[in-house]
Amino acid sequence: MKIFLAGASGAIGGHLVTQLVARGHEVVGTTRTPAKLGALRDLGAQAVVVDALDPESVAEAVAKAEPEVVVHQMTALGGPPDFRHAKRMAAATDRLRIEGTDHLLAAARAVGVRKFVAQSNALWAAQTGPGLADDNVAIEPNPPADVRESVDALRHVEAAVTGITWGDGIALRYGGFYGPGTGLSAEPGAVMAQQIRERKFPIVGNGAGVWSMVHIVDAASATVAAVERGTAGIYNVADDDPAPVSVWLPELARCLGAKPPRRIPAWLVRLIAGQGPVHLMTRARGISSAKAKRELGWTLRYPSWRTGFREGLG
């Protein structure tokens, strides 16, 4: 198939280009950055510069590519790990999830695309219920006020994409990425790994929030499966071993050769960073990816982060 991959130069984008090309697909991949075009071509994609917030730029690139499938993997989460930057990154990512999605959908519809696959995130699947969240669980309706806009943006991308009537609209709720090319790898410059080494990524409160993780190679293979076999709707994409932050974070620190994470009281984090991070660290709920395995035939190279952290950090 011919696939237009918006965000091909990002953490999942590179792995996705490699896997799609290996499966015999033709990929047109985007970046905003001309200096990254060569690297995308080296992976086997046709590479184009697109600004997702400029509807004409998007429409022109999609029309020229004439794809059968459009994949939206654009976020703006790369950058220095300070609090002010985190707020800017969240706002930029929200725009990509709202305006970026809408421009891409309009461009895709105009050229008769028959499938649209977009990135969502598992962390804000309604997390107050018991047990693991399946793919039918709504996005959290009552998030803390300081993260409301970002949660609304996730809701937008999911609703806009799965609501299309002219093709199959698929939203993939990924667990936390780790592995080569992500911020959580053993490679130099991996931002979250560096924070963990510097003990700047603490366990907040009781650390009872349950996170689902997914190795980036598995996240990419689930996406390929969705491109090839997915039908309209939401698919959770994470490993089989959701675990509380208080369990996986110390093990991750150990695998990175770092000292154990610090523990910080919830009230202090609430004061500095708001209720959103406290909520995720103390109340988040893991997800079940049974549907993706059942319907897409997806199998994981790393069914548990325990092996993934030991062997797959890159």
Ligand X SMILES: NC(=O)c1ccc[n+]([C@@H]2O[C@H](COP(=O)([O-])OP(=O)(O)OC[C@H]3O[C@@H](n4cnc5c(N)ncnc54)[C@H](OP(=O)(O)O)[C@@H]3O)[C@@H](O)[C@H]2O)c1
Q: Looking at beta carbons only, is 182 or 246 nearer to ligand X?
A: 182
In the complex, the smallest distance separating the C-beta of residue 267 from ligand X, rounded to whole angstroms, is 27
Q: Looking at beta carbons only, is 35 or 165 nearer to ligand X?
A: 35
User: Is 133 in a helix, a strand, or coil?
Assistant: strand
- If one asks whether residue 76 binds ligand X (CB under 6 A), the answer comes out as yes
Give the other-Cβ count within 10 Å of 235's Cβ.
25
In the complex, the smallest distance separating the C-beta of residue 59 from ligand X, rounded to whole angstroms, is 14
In the complex, the smallest distance separating the C-beta of residue 189 from ligand X, rounded to whole angstroms, is 10
Q: Strands of the chain (E only): list them.
A: 2-6, 26-31, 46-49, 69-72, 115-121, 168-174, 176-178, 203-204, 210-211, 213-215, 233-237, 243-244, 263-264
In the complex, the smallest distance separating the C-beta of residue 260 from ligand X, rounded to whole angstroms, is 22
Q: Which one among 4, 116, 174, 302 touches ligand X, defined by CB under 6 A?
A: 174
- If one asks whether residue 197 binds ligand X (CB under 6 A), the answer comes out as no
* SS3 of the chain: helix, strand, coil, percent, to 5: 45, 20, 35
- If one asks whether residue 74 binds ligand X (CB under 6 A), the answer comes out as yes
**How wide is the angle at C-alpha 71 spanned by C-alphas 65 and 74, nearest 5°?**
105
- If one asks whether residue 31 binds ligand X (CB under 6 A), the answer comes out as yes
Contact predicate 89/77, CB 8 Å: yes
- If one asks whether residue 187 binds ligand X (CB under 6 A), the answer comes out as no
- If one asks whether residue 40 binds ligand X (CB under 6 A), the answer comes out as no
Residues 243-302 binding ligand X (CB under 6 A) are none
Q: Looking at beta carbons only, is 123 or 271 nearer to ligand X?
A: 123
- If one asks whether residue 177 binds ligand X (CB under 6 A), the answer comes out as yes
Q: Which two tokens stand for residue 235?
A: 């698919």
Number of helices (H), then strands (E), in the chain:
13, 13
Q: How far apart are CA 297 and CA 30, in angstroms?
A: 28
Q: Which residues bind ligand X (CB under 6 A)?
A: 7-11, 13, 31-33, 36, 50-53, 74-78, 96, 121, 174, 176-177, 182-183, 191
